[in-house]
Amino acid sequence: MSDSISRKKQNVWRAVQGLPALRLMEDIVHYYQNYVETYTDNQTVTEFPDEVFIEDMLYGMGVSMSTDYQFNTGFNKFKEMLLKRLLEDPALKLHMKETQ
């Protein structure tokens, strides 16, 4: 199933195939907003190295999309999906070609 069609349409096909539904985009955004808000709600959070912050925001994006991306194994699965998507990006392909 192509990732370029809406999640609502994907869910129609998934239902026909007996697969569980994907989270809808509005639910993903709401979940992610709540995830990010934990930073402002947490009084002990003061400063993180950039790498930790980036990893944590990526983790939040992943778990917002699916519970399949929870914990270490799921997060690695999310990063693999993200890397694949980034490597397919035309601008990145052009940049990589130019720097070789």
Q: Indicate the pTM of the whole model.
A: 0.79
pLDDT in tens, 29-83: 999 999 998 877 766 666 778 898 899 999 999 999 999 999 999 999 999 999 9
pLDDT in tens, 1-30: 445 789 899 999 999 999 999 999 999 999
Q: At what angle do helices 25-41 and 50-65 cross, to 10 degrees?
A: 140
Burial of 50 (0-12, 13-18, 19+ CB in 10 A): exposed
Confidence (pLDDT) at 44: 66
